[in-house]
């Protein structure tokens, strides 16, 4: 990826494409989308993770960080190959183009795909053998995991019988023998997924479109990864997560986010030479042209929460692998570009890690070009709680504008990035010419901070005077008074008046009369404290009539728009 060339693209998950059989997949609609990108002069198609989704159907909670989602297999292609008939696919016909019915997919998709597997005679083909050889590291374990999951009625692996839950050698051999055909089905499933995806990706690449893929930083607790390599994760004696991932409280979630993914034992990863990560990256090198690493911040420091916690308030930051991981990944051959997703709570050490790796990072348009020349928003505080927030300024302004734009609350964990966003929102109200913020530790507790926000309001009222000449109003003069922050509540009020000498054109049917007009308008951006706006207008007009000879027109009216 040439970092010096400016390019654009579109993010569209594969499952969001129109799909005849219940979900977006590698069908002709995907190829048409590639053609659309070419016509729109785009260079990238960014997608979400392609893994097989588990409970909740989130692409960030999958049964494997290596496998592909069989829901994305194009059944029309299998019909062309003679492995399925249109009638056999009938149960999956979409009832809606606006949403995916995952319950329906779960009921019929695998059942239909098994019919194709029964007719498939290529398990011993050279193409299949090459695929199995390329994916030795993870495929057998994944196929076995999914076969066991089917045997035990979809239960999480920590609820399986003890002999297989703890991977007892005798138990493994017994179940592998009994589930051989079932394991072959899941190998077939992945073979078809891989073949169809590579065909679509090659088509996109030939058209000049590169695929941006996505690596979630964490894996699901109920996954082949955790069951196959339990030593790489923080688990208790029963195979349950001891601590889980999340993020601390912020303005969007006052109790933080509890993701539930098991945390890595980074010491074990390092001892192994980061082999699991290397294999994962090798797989992504084959799937994508550019790789977006999700939650890059977690490789510097990650937020750890007790698995028994009900929220993420009492989590703690732990040190991640840092550059050691990315030095190890240099051993993975390939020239694919990597993007570091470094959004959220970002510290100086995260910025340094992004810089040291050389990876391009991400910006959100709303905050990307915010100018902070004096550095007042960039503080070195990385942890601690807000004790109190003091705000100076007009009381009415504080009551309205601030309560809508300051999300940080006393008692919450300090979040520098969120505080910056709070201040950006204050600037965007255009009610202030300056916003300054200071933060100091409290006298009683150095881990608690007092925040002071000083607001310097700018003049929002204005007076305008004007005049002119036209054939209907004659010589006229106007005066207007407006306030863009009326009563400090971010409301707009204006009063305008106009007086004219009367018509100038020679028309005896129009009464020559002084013209008067007055108008009072009011704009409320957040009407009834909701996402509605109100525009209202009250006016009076008196002028010579064009409708009734030698008469006057007087109009009094009120208008309102929500």
Full DSSP string of 237-303:
TTS-BSEEEEE---SS-TT-EEEEEEPB-HHHHHHTTSHHHHHHHHHHHHH-SEEEETTGGGGTEEE
Name the residue with higher pLDDT: 334 or 41: 41
Q: Is the pLDDT of residue 526 over 60?
A: yes
Beta partners for residue 339, in sequence order:
292
Spell out a b/e string for 113-147, using b for 16 or more CB atoms within 10 Å of the CB, else e: beebbeebeeeeeeebeebeeebebbbbbbbbbbb
What is the model's pLDDT at position 1?
Answer: 57
Q: Is the pLDDT of residue 484 over 70?
A: no
Q: Average model confidence (pLDDT) for the chain?
A: 82
What is the model's pLDDT at position 502?
Answer: 65
Task: Tell me how far apart the alpha carbons of residues 355 and 71 are, in angstroms, rounded to a whole number.
Answer: 38
Q: Is the pLDDT of residue 380 over 50?
A: no
Per residue in 70-83, pLDDT tens? 999 999 999 999 99
Q: 0.75 exceeded by the pTM?
A: no
What is the model's pLDDT at position 272?
Answer: 96
What is the model's pLDDT at position 475?
Answer: 75
For residue 121, CA distances in Å to 73, 125, 174 come to 18, 8, 26
Confidence class for position 456, pLDDT limits 50, 70, 90: low
Beta partners for residue 24, in sequence order:
none
Q: φ and ψ at 335, to 5 degrees?
A: -125, 30
Q: Is the pLDDT of residue 499 over 70?
A: yes
Percentage of residues in the chain with pLDDT exceeding 90? Answer: 48
Q: Is the pLDDT of residue 174 over 80?
A: yes
What is the model's pLDDT at position 375?
Answer: 39
Q: Is the pLDDT of residue 548 over 60?
A: no
Determine which helix (DSSP H) or strand (DSSP E) holds 529, and give its type and residue range. none
Task: Tell me how far apart the alpha carbons of residues 50 and 129 are, in angstroms, rounded to a whole number.
Answer: 23
Q: Answer yes or no: are the C-beta atoms of 225 and 218 closer than 8 Å.
A: no
Q: Answer yes or no: are the C-beta atoms of 63 and 52 closer than 8 Å.
A: yes
Name the residue with higher pLDDT: 252 or 296: 296
Confidence class for position 562, pLDDT limits 50, 70, 90: confident
Q: φ and ψ at 350, to 5 degrees?
A: -65, -45
Report the range of poorest mean pLDDT among 58-62, 244-248, 322-326, 547-551.
Answer: 547-551
Confidence class for position 378, pLDDT limits 50, 70, 90: very low
The full 3-state SS of 197-241, as one line of letters, equals HHHHHHHHHHCCCEEEEEECCCCCCCCHHHHHCHHHECECCCCCE
Q: Answer yes or no: are the C-beta atoms of 90 and 247 closer than 8 Å.
A: no
Task: Tell me how far apart the alpha carbons of residues 197 and 27 are, in angstroms, rounded to a whole number.
Answer: 10
Q: Answer yes or no: are the C-beta atoms of 503 and 510 closer than 8 Å.
A: yes
Q: Answer yes or no: are the C-beta atoms of 24 and 194 closer than 8 Å.
A: no
Q: Is the pLDDT of residue 59 over 80?
A: yes
DSSP, collapsed to helix, strand or coil, labels residue 388 as strand
Tokens of residue 123, six digits:
């398990």
Q: Is the pLDDT of residue 46 over 50?
A: yes
Q: Answer yes or no: are the C-beta atoms of 550 and 509 closer than 8 Å.
A: yes
Instruction: Calculate ∠ Cα 158-161-163, nearest 5°.
Output: 105
Task: Tell me how far apart the alpha carbons of residues 226 and 141 are, in angstroms, rounded to a whole number.
Answer: 11
Q: What is the DSSP letter of 375?
A: -
What is the model's pLDDT at position 541?
Answer: 74
Cα end-to-end span (Å), the chain: 48
Per residue in 397-440, pLDDT tens? 555 556 556 656 666 665 666 666 666 666 665 566 666 667 77
Confidence class for position 365, pLDDT limits 50, 70, 90: low
Q: Is the pLDDT of residue 135 over 70?
A: yes
What is the model's pLDDT at position 379?
Answer: 38
Q: Answer yes or no: are the C-beta atoms of 317 and 305 closer than 8 Å.
A: no
pLDDT, average across residues 186-215: 97
Residue 30 burial (CB < 10 Å; 0-12/13-18/19+)? buried
Long-range pairs, 240-244, Cβ under 8 A, ≥24:
240/158, 240/307, 241/307, 242/307, 243/304, 243/305, 243/306, 243/307, 244/304, 244/305, 244/306, 244/307
Name the residue with higher pLDDT: 357 or 519: 357
Q: Is the pLDDT of residue 510 over 70?
A: no
Name the residue with higher pLDDT: 536 or 264: 264
Find the largest Cα–Cα distance for the chain: 111
Task: Tell me how far apart the alpha carbons of residues 194 and 345 are, in angstroms, rounded to a whole number.
Answer: 36
pLDDT, average across residues 439-459: 70
Confidence class for position 468, pLDDT limits 50, 70, 90: confident
| Region of residue 188 (phi > 0: left; psi between -120 and 50: alpha; otherwise: beta) | alpha
Confidence class for position 67, pLDDT limits 50, 70, 90: very high
Q: Is the pLDDT of residue 488 over 70?
A: no
Task: Tell me how far apart the alpha carbons of residues 52 and 75 are, in angstroms, rounded to a whole number.
Answer: 17
């Amino acid at each position: 990826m040439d970092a010096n060339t400016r390019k654009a693209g579109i993010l569209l998950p594969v499952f969001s494409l129109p799909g005849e059989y219940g979900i977006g997949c590698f069908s002709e609609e995907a190829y048409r989308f590639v053609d659309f990108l070419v016509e729109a002069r785009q260079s990238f198609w960014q997608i979400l993770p392609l893994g097989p989704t588990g409970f909740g159907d989130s692409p960030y909670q999958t049964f494997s960080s290596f496998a592909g989602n069989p829901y994305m297999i194009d059944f029309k292609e299998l019909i062309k190959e003679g492995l399925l008939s249109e009638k056999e696919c009938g149960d999956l016909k979409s009832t809606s183009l606006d949403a995916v019915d995952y319950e329906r997919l779960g009921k019929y998709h695998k059942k239909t795909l098994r019919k194709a597997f029964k007719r498939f005679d290529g398990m011993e083909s050279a193409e299949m053998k090459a695929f199995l050889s390329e994916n030795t590291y993870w495929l057998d374990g994944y196929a076995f995991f999914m076969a066991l999951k089917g045997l035990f009625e979809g239960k999480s692996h920590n609820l399986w019988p003890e002999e297989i839950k703890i991977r007892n050698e005798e138990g493994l051999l017994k179940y592998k023998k009994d589930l051989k055909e079932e394991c072959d089905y899941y190998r077939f499933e992945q073979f078809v997924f891989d073949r169809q995806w590579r065909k679509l990706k090659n088509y996109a690449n030939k058209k000049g479109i590169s695929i941006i893929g996505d690596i979630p930083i964490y894996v699901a607790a109920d996954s082949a990864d955790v069951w196959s390599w339990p030593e790489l994760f923080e688990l208790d004696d029963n195979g349950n997560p001891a601590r889980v991932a999340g993020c601390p409280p912020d303005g969007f979630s006052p109790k933080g986010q509890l993701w539930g993914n098991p945390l890595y034992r980074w010491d074990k990863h390092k001892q192994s030479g980061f082999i699991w990560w290397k294999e994962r990256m090798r797989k992504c090198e084959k799937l994508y042209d550019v790789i977006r690493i999700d939650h890059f911040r977690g490789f510097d420091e990650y937020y750890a929460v007790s698995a028994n916690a009900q929220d993420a308030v009492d989590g703690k930051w732990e040190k991640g692998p840092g550059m050691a991981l990315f030095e190890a990944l240099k051993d993975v051959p390939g020239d694919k570009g990597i993007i570091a997703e470094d959004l959220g709570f970002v510290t100086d050490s995260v910025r340094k890690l992004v810089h040291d790796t050389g990876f391009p990072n991400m910006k959100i348009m709303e905050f990307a070009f915010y100018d902070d020349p004096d550095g007042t928003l960039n503080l070195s505080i990385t942890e601690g709680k807000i004790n109190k927030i003091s705000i100076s300024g007009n009381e009415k302004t504080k009551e309205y504008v601030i309560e809508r734009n300051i999300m940080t609350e006393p008692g919450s964990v300090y979040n520098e990035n969120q505080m910056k966003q709070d201040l950006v929102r204050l600037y965007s109200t255009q009610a202030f010419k300056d916003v300054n913020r200071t933060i100091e530790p409290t006298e009683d507790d150095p881990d608690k901070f007092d925040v002071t926000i000083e607001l310097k309001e700018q003049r929002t009222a204005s007076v305008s005077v004007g005049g002119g000449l036209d054939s209907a109003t004659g010589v006229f003069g106007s005066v207007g008074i407006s306030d863009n922050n009326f009563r400090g509540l971010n409301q707009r009020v204006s009063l305008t008046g106009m007086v004219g000498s009367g018509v100038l054109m020679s028309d005896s049917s129009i009464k020559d009369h002084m013209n008067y007009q007055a108008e009072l308008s009011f704009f409320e951006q957040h009407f009834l404290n909701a996402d509605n706006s109100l525009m209202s207008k009250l006016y009076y007009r008196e002028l010579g009539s064009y409708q009734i000879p030698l008469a006057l027109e007087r109009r009094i009216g009120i208008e309102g728009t929500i």
